[in-house]
A and B are shown apart, each in its own frame.
Chain A
Amino acid sequence: MQLQSMYQDIILDHYRNPHGRGLREPFEAEVHHVNPTCGDEVTLRVHLDGDTLADVSYEGMGCSISQASVSAMYELVVGRPVTDALATGEHFMTLMQSKGDPSVAEKLEDELEDAVAFAGVSKYPARIKCALMSWMALKDASARALSATAPAGGENA
């Protein structure tokens, strides 16, 4: 029975009691991401305070993995600089590509906290995109929020 390796208690807890769920004001960017193969959806808003993610709020529907992933992500990224949050997203991506290799999860434990529980998902290729959807939405929304709040005639002008 391999199911428990994917459905860790931490994941099921996040699924049943999602953290930070609900769309809130204010926000600088809102994105809507779907997983076209299964129809899972997430709407995600980002509120910046300078370079810090002051709030990430979301609504979505989908499987336990996609919903638990966005909840765990909320806990990890709110209150942190955008660049740190996106770096954490890269670590999460590395975890999803680990094909269940325990040494990868071990190395990333500090950075990923609860989200390291998703290591078991990396053994199921069809489910990786469920876990990644919210992180993709965060990356997208952060980029939009940054460009929306960038002063006119910024460094790339």
Chain B
Amino acid sequence: MTQTVSRPGAGAQQVPLPLDVEAVRADFPILSRTVRDGKRLVYLDSGATSQKPRSVLDAERDFYETCNAAPHRGAHQLAEEATARYEGARATVAGFLGAPAEEIVFTRNSTEAINLVAYALSNAATAKEPAFRRYAVGQGDEIVVTEMEHHANLVPWQQLCERTGATLRWLGLTDDGRLDLSDLGTVVNERTRLVAVTQQSNILGTINPLGGIVARAREVGALVLVDGAQSVPHQPVDVTTLGADFLVFSGHKMLGPTGVGVLWGRYEVLDALPPFLTGGSMIEVVRMEGSTFMPPPQRFEAGVPMAAQVVGLGAAVEYLQRLGMASVQAHEEALTGYALARLAEIPGVTVIGPPDTVARGGAVSFTVDGIHPHDVGQVLDDLGVEVRVGHHCAWPVVRRYGVPATTRATFYVHTGYDDVDALADGIREAQRFFGVAQG
């Protein structure tokens, strides 16, 4: 089969990229492998999970080889060293966000971090300790989300409402992939206990204007949880200016290992929340009749933690800091602008989401007339181009835009213009293969 190769049109500008793509690629061992009979790996699925640079893999291995022990337990030398590495990573993550270390809670991933907050809010209603009842959610209360949320920032709130009798409300979307804030003043009201909103959509790429939402939540005394799973890996995020009470994100989407995520919470709020998971590590005094709990963050880290993965996440943060988050964001913005222009050249391709790079990250979802996204993805895969297909764990979003699913390309630090060209050529190849090419 002859491969389709097309030249970029006049609208697709290759501005100099802020990151040295070849140097970055050399740091990622997996990028040297080939796929599907010797094709170069064009990895455009960092939004699902990112690849790992060697420094992260080395940090995890080094922890196991040199100081493996259970942190915060035992008095032997290995335990001391393991604890120092674990807490060192906490300090690194805290510094990355502009937060004090005691506001950083390690979880399994964003999903668990959100569930931690949701269960804490329902546990608060029945907490024995009066101090833990401050944020209790119950009948008559309202939780606000948006139609743009990943299932991880939607289903836990639906479930919280089912457990407590609270009501779930949501902000809708505009046709061009933005939050519809026209009814913000009524949807977020005196009954609202918490607003949960994503900072960057995993499917549309939209970067949300959190300022107005946070201000409205403050007016009515509601908490704000920001889903940073797609923002913290891709743009500078500073919790001192974010205005939120909680921020969650996953290590594996930001060059770190799987199995580690972060809940950042304002200390005052964390301190008033009862625990979610209970057991070892999080207790103060245990008697047969009952127990008392440690202050945050330990209160929310029950059981032996994923220490090697936390250390790996610390190395991932250091890697991103070396590149500079402003450069990472600018890099992806340049690629996104180029990708939007290249996709616009292909008849039959429709981007679902903002059509330009204004307040937009590097998740580019699209449909191809006459070809189901799975089939688009299959042809791309055959060419070594790895994208995500389906509803991207944001089923209400695809439903809102009247499509069964989309194909999604996401960019990261190792993505170059050649990857975007491979995507554009692959889409044309899919159109040729399925006999729907229009030009």
Q: What is the CB-to-nearest-CB distance from A22 to chain B, in angstroms, rounded to a whole number?
A: 18
Q: Which of A2, A37, A62, A63 has the most CB of B within 10 A?
A: A63
Q: Which of B4-12, B80-88, B191-199, B370-378 contacts A (4 or more CB under 8 A)?
A: B370-378
Considering the complex, which residues of chain A in the window 22-40 have a beta carbon less than 8 Å from any beta carbon of chain B?
A: 37-40
Q: Are A2 and B37 in contact (CB under 8 A)?
A: yes
A88–B29 Cα gap in the complex (Å)? 46
Q: What is the CB-to-nearest-CB distance from A5 to chain B, in angstroms, rounded to a whole number?
A: 10
Whether A152 sits at the interface, judged by CB under 8 Å, is no
Which single residue of chain A is at the shortest CB-CB distance from B399?
A: A39
Q: Which of A3, A65, A127 contacts B379, CB < 8 Å?
A: A3
Interface 0/1 of B359-379, CB less than 8 Å to A: 000000000000011110011
A62–B404 Cα gap in the complex (Å)? 7
Whether B224 sits at the interface, judged by CB under 8 Å, is no
Q: What is the CB-to-nearest-CB distance from B285 to chain A, in angstroms, rounded to a whole number?
A: 44
9 shortest interchain CB distances as A-B pairs? A63-B374, A63-B372, A38-B390, A39-B391, A1-B1, A3-B382, A39-B405, A61-B404, A64-B375
Which residues of the other chain, B, contact A7 by a CB distance below 8 angstroms? 375, 378, 433
Which residues of the other chain, A, contact B374 by a CB distance below 8 angstroms? 38, 40, 62-65, 127, 130
Q: Are A63 and B375 in contact (CB under 8 A)?
A: yes
Considering the complex, which residues of chain B in the window 316-343 have a beta carbon less than 8 Å from any beta carbon of chain A?
A: none
Q: Are B390 and A37 in contact (CB under 8 A)?
A: yes
Known: A37-B390, A64-B372. 5 other contacts (CB 8 A): A2-B36, A38-B405, A39-B390, A64-B375, A127-B378
Which B residues have a C-beta under 8 Å from some C-beta of A? 1, 36-37, 372-375, 378-379, 382, 389-391, 395, 398, 404-405, 433-434
Which residues of the other chain, A, contact B404 by a CB distance below 8 angstroms? 39-41, 61-62
Q: Are A2 and B382 in contact (CB under 8 A)?
A: yes
Which residues of the other chain, A, contact B1 by a CB distance below 8 angstroms? 1
Q: What is the CB-to-nearest-CB distance from B436 to chain A, in angstroms, rounded to a whole number?
A: 11
Which A residues have a C-beta under 8 Å from some C-beta of B? 1-3, 6-7, 12, 37-41, 61-65, 124, 127, 130
Which residues of the other chain, A, contact B434 by a CB distance below 8 angstroms? 12, 64
Q: What is the CB-to-nearest-CB distance from B191 to chain A, in angstroms, rounded to a whole number?
A: 33
Q: Which of A3, A39, A40 contacts B433, CB < 8 Å?
A: A3
A63–B389 Cα gap in the complex (Å)? 11
A127–B398 Cα gap in the complex (Å)? 20
Q: Are A63 and B373 in contact (CB under 8 A)?
A: yes
Q: What is the CB-to-nearest-CB distance from B159 to chain A, in angstroms, rounded to a whole number?
A: 17
Which single residue of chain B is at the shortest CB-CB distance from A40?
A: B404
Q: What is the CB-to-nearest-CB distance from A72 to chain B, in angstroms, rounded to a whole number?
A: 17
A62–B391 Cα gap in the complex (Å)? 12
Which residues of the other chain, B, contact A37 by a CB distance below 8 angstroms? 390
Which residues of the other chain, A, contact B405 by a CB distance below 8 angstroms? 38-40
Which residues of the other chain, B, contact A12 by a CB distance below 8 angstroms? 434
A3–B391 Cα gap in the complex (Å)? 23
